[in-house]
């Protein structure tokens, strides 16, 4: 089957088994290895990407069901040299340890802050319900996101 997707702004066509999960297309066929393949069952969130603007676990999406959809991976959120505000806040708060959860968290939290620029701590916790971190503990992650929200509350 041939499937056409827009990935990080580029239209791509793939001749693939339609059952192949999107995470494998991204990592194997596109060499976009930011999204991580961990549980492969939709529990950990490490594989999260935006599909038509919504954060979704890409391990659960067979590519055959995604014809014409717009995919944004962590590589597409911001240029490597200029991290987006969530990435900068993670670095400033020493959030990243092993880093396996980091790409999925950033994708999820970028969507949260786009939709709600000044979230509460409970909003952040709710957004992260599908993203598991085994290393850092969630308080620092939430502190990092809140710091972005606090900056945005200050009038220019």
| Interaction site with ligand FES (CB under 6 A) | 37-40, 42-47, 57, 59, 96-101, 133-136
- Closest CB to ligand FES among residues 91, 151: 91
Report how far residue 41's alpha carbon sits from residue 53's, in angstroms, rounded to the nearest whole number. 21
Least Å from the CB of residue 153 to ligand FES = 27
Count of helices and strands (H, E) across the chain: 6, 5
- Closest CB to ligand FES among residues 42, 64: 42
Alpha carbon 128 to its chain's center: 11
- Closest CB to ligand FES among residues 43, 117: 43
Least Å from the CB of residue 51 to ligand FES = 13
CB 30 within 8 A of CB 3: no
Report how far residue 146's alpha carbon sits from residue 156's, in angstroms, rounded to the nearest whole number. 18
Q: Which two tokens stand for residue 6?
A: 């827009």
Phi, psi of 91 (to 5 degrees): -65, -45
- Closest CB to ligand FES among residues 53, 137: 137
Least Å from the CB of residue 155 to ligand FES = 34
Least Å from the CB of residue 156 to ligand FES = 33
């Amino acid at each position: 089957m041939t499937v056409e997707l827009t990935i990080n702004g580029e239209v791509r066509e793939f001749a693939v088994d339609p059952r192949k999960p999107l995470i494998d297309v991204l990592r194997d066929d596109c060499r976009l290895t930011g999204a991580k393949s961990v549980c492969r069952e939709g529990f950990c969130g490490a594989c999260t990407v935006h599909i038509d603007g919504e954060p979704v676990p890409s391990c659960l999406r067979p590519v055959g069901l995604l014809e014409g959809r717009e995919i944004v991976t962590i590589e597409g959120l911001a240029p490597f040299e200029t991290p987006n505000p969530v990435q900068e806040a993670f670095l400033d708060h020493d959030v990243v340890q092993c880093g396996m959860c980091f790409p999925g968290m950033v994708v999820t939290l970028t969507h949260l802050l786009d939709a709600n620029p000044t979230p509460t701590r409970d909003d952040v916790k709710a957004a992260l319900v599908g993203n598991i971190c085994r290393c850092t503990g969630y308080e620092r992650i939430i502190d990092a996101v809140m710091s972005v929200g606090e900056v945005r509350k200050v009038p220019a």
